[in-house]
Structure 1
Amino acid sequence: MRLSGEYRDKGEYHKNLDKNWPYYPVYLEKMAFVKKILRDLDRKSKILDAGCGEGILVEELKKEGFDIIGLDYNYSSKYVKKGSIFDMPFKDETFDVILCL
């Protein structure tokens, strides 16, 4: 699948945004919301954060003890696999929960 240049350019925007993201009130609200959703989830459950950017949420939830990995079209890192949600590089039924926030 070919994406427009407009989508690819947003990757640059997010690189700068992600540096300050943990300090934004909307991030704190997002974390509280996600933790509320996941509070009763078994920590051994496998979670995918699809479209996670640089994986800030993934790293936070890892610190909380969750088994989570991120997937993003523009990034890859220790906890983020580079790939498309339209052609995910995972086997079917790999995850118990998929976040896409």
Structure 2
Amino acid sequence: MSEALPDYGWGSARPHTANYLSEKVRDILRESGGKSVLDAGCGNGALAGYLASLGYQVTGLDASTSGIEIARMTFPDVRFEVGTFDSPPTGTFDAVCSTEVVEHLYSPHLLIQYCFEALKPGGLLIISTPYHGYLKNLAIALLGKWDSHLTALWHGGHIKFWSRATLSSLLEGAGFEVTGFYGAGRLPFFWKSMIIVAKRP
């Protein structure tokens, strides 16, 4: 993400991920007690708008100009910024959320470093990405679904596929302490996504 994206195909409808991720993100934030939240890679602002409706002080950041335009129109009381992860954050926050973003990035370490710098000491990163584990991968192979799962024909689709171990390693390499893991969507070990929670020391 070294430059702003003019169009990423965003519409005003909530992304499908919001339905099964937003409540878990809400629950984690409630336990943390923080009030200021950065949504890093906010897309059309659906999650940021939801969290703002719960009373959080939310800022949404995305490289997609069309996504930010939609977010500003849909949630006019929430602060949204066009920006990339290779620039310094404009403030610090109690928590950073980044849902279904890291799998789209050529340089995911830039996102993680940005989140680290955007957090106050003791702040939480809540990051999600499609889940990949042995049983799910085996099921995808047996059902012949890898072509659709790998999103090769989707403009802006997934280019990296994370396991719990590899994403945790990325976070720990940036200085985070991994404190939690949750599956989201579908049955256990066939989850749509995984959520990893990490703390900035």
- Distance, in Å, in 1 between the alignment partners of 2:19 and 2:53 is 15
Q: Identity, % of aligned pairs?
A: 27
Q: After superposition, what is the alpha-carbon deviation per residue over 1:23-79, rounded to whole angstroms, capped at 9, x for unaligned?
A: x3x321111111111112335x31100010121111111110011111011133342
Match of 2:81 in 1: 81
Q: Calculate the TM-score normalised by the size of structure 2.
A: 0.39
**Greater C-alpha Rg:** 2
Q: Calculate the TM-score normalised by the size of structure 1.
A: 0.71
Alignment partner of 1:39 out of 9, 30, 34 = 30
How many residue pairs were aligned?
A: 89
Larger helix fraction of residues: 1
Change (3 A) 1:88 1:52: farther
Q: Which has the higher contact order (CA 8 A, sep 6+)?
A: 1
- Distance, in Å, in 2 between the alignment partners of 1:39 and 1:47 is 12
Match of 2:90 in 1: 90
Q: Note the aligned Cα RMSD (angstroms).
A: 2.4
- Gaps (5+ residues) in structure 1? none
Moved more, 70-79 or 59-68: 70-79
Q: Which amino acid aligns with 2:33?
A: D
Structure 2 residue 45 is matched with structure 1 residue 49: no
Please report how far the alpha carbon of residue 2 of structure 1 lies from its aligned counterpart in structure 2 after TM superposition.
4.3
Alignment partner of 1:59 out of 4, 26, 49 = 49
Runs (4+) of structure 1 exceeding 6 A deviation are none
- Distance, in Å, in 2 between the alignment partners of 1:2 and 1:31 is 28
